[in-house]
Amino acid sequence: MKTALITIAALLASTVVHAEGVPDRIKSAGKVVVANQPNYPPMEYKDPATNTLMGVDIDLGLALAKQLGTNVEWADIGFEQMISSLQTGRVDLIHSGMSDLPKRRDTLDFVDYMKSGAQFYTSASRKEEFKTPADFCGKTVGMSRRTSFPDETAKWSAANCEAKGLAAIKVVGTEGSADARAQLKQGRLDGAVQGSETLPYLMNLEKDTYAIVGEPITAVYQGMAFSKKDPALRDAYAAALKALMASDEYKAIFAKHGLEGTMLDGIYINGEAVK
């Protein structure tokens, strides 16, 4: 691990990225194939009018590829298949709102690029009923089963509901965050959980529909995921990200989407700052 960090630090010493840092297969193909599922605004989604890919991850992914002197081919892959697609070489990396979790680091390396957290919310019509996250104890709360949110919510419930003699949160795994919102509107759920970075966008899109409850219950990094067998591409992306930070292009991308508060102050690999 120490040798790997020294290698990364040496690469990051310059903010100028050269094509020599990109693996030969990428240079030969003239593109990097990136797993992404565009169903998580404002991180990645399709413009309903033009079907054009949009979002933070899209803008950042294109800027990083340009910095590396290559192009992006977006591969629309279901979240459950992303890791296997990376391991089998179908894609070169994952850039799709994926949390950098310790359990994922057994098979993946992450170049982190923003911070996030699991956030409770409810329907605007019930905001007086739910003032704090603890008000969801004993209630039914939905969230995408494909994410880390069900486990995180259950752990939070154990520590903040059951441990205090309150009823546990009834965690419902849904077919994505859109399904959770639909069930919330239908009254089948009392609340829902999704990434804190997505809710301001949704509340602006559907005004007077949702109400955020409390602060995020977790603090995690989101990262681009690479195969552990591909440290060269990981390091090239880390250097490219540092270059974007130095040029303020990184800041401009997040400001465009109103997410300046989620930016990182430097380069992090697998949750650890790289000096």
Instruction: Tell me the pLDDT of the chain (275 aa) as tens digits.
Output: 544 454 555 555 444 444 558 999 999 999 999 999 998 889 999 998 999 999 999 999 999 999 999 999 999 999 889 999 999 999 999 999 999 999 999 999 999 999 999 999 999 999 999 999 999 999 999 999 988 899 999 999 999 999 999 999 999 999 988 899 999 999 999 999 999 998 988 898 899 999 999 999 999 999 999 999 999 999 999 999 999 999 999 999 999 998 998 999 999 999 999 97
The predicted structure's pLDDT at residue 16: 43
Among residues 87, 89, 115, the alpha carbon closest in space to that of 100 is found at 115
Spatial distance between the Cα atoms of 106 and 13, rounded to a whole number of angstroms? 27
Q: In this structure, are 37 and 82 located in the same domain? A: yes
Q: In this structure, are 34 and 161 located in the same domain? A: no
Q: In this structure, are 110 and 20 located in the same domain? A: yes
Q: In this structure, are 253 and 162 located in the same domain? A: no
Q: In this structure, are 136 and 254 located in the same domain? A: no
Q: In this structure, are 187 and 233 located in the same domain? A: no
Q: What domain range is 57 assigned to?
A: 2-116+221-273
Q: In this structure, are 207 and 145 located in the same domain? A: yes
Q: In 18-70, at which residue ranges do the beta strands (DSSP E only) sit? A: 31-36, 45-46, 53-54
The predicted structure's pLDDT at residue 19: 59
Q: In this structure, are 74 and 198 located in the same domain? A: no
* Residue after which a domain boundary falls, among 188, 212, 236: 212
Please indicate, yes or no, whether the overall pTM of this predicted structure exceeds 0.85: no
Structure tokens at 184: 């919330």
Spatial distance between the Cα atoms of 92 and 242, rounded to a whole number of angstroms? 20
* Residue after which a domain boundary falls, among 212, 239, 260: 212
Question: How many domains does the chain fold into?
Answer: 2
Residue 121 main-chain phi, psi, to 5 deg? -155, 165
Tell me the CATH number at 171.
3.40.190.10
Q: In this structure, are 160 and 188 located in the same domain? A: yes
DSSP string, 62-110: HHHHHHTT-EEEEEE--HHHHHHHHHTTS-SEE-SS-B--GGGGGTEEE
Q: In this structure, are 245 and 109 located in the same domain? A: yes
Q: In this structure, are 16 and 100 located in the same domain? A: yes
* Residue after which a domain boundary falls, among 212, 230, 263: 212
Q: In this structure, are 9 and 108 located in the same domain? A: yes
DSSP string, 116-161: E-EEEEEEGGGTTT-SSGGGGTTSEEEEETTSSHHHHHHHHHHHHT
The predicted structure's pLDDT at residue 5: 52
Among residues 63, 117, 32, the alpha carbon closest in space to that of 245 is found at 63
Where do we find the tokens 């949390």?
Answer: 99
Under 8 Å between Cβ of 28 and 34: no
Q: Decide: residue 159, CB within 10 A, 0-12 exposed, 13-18 middle, 19+ buried.
A: exposed
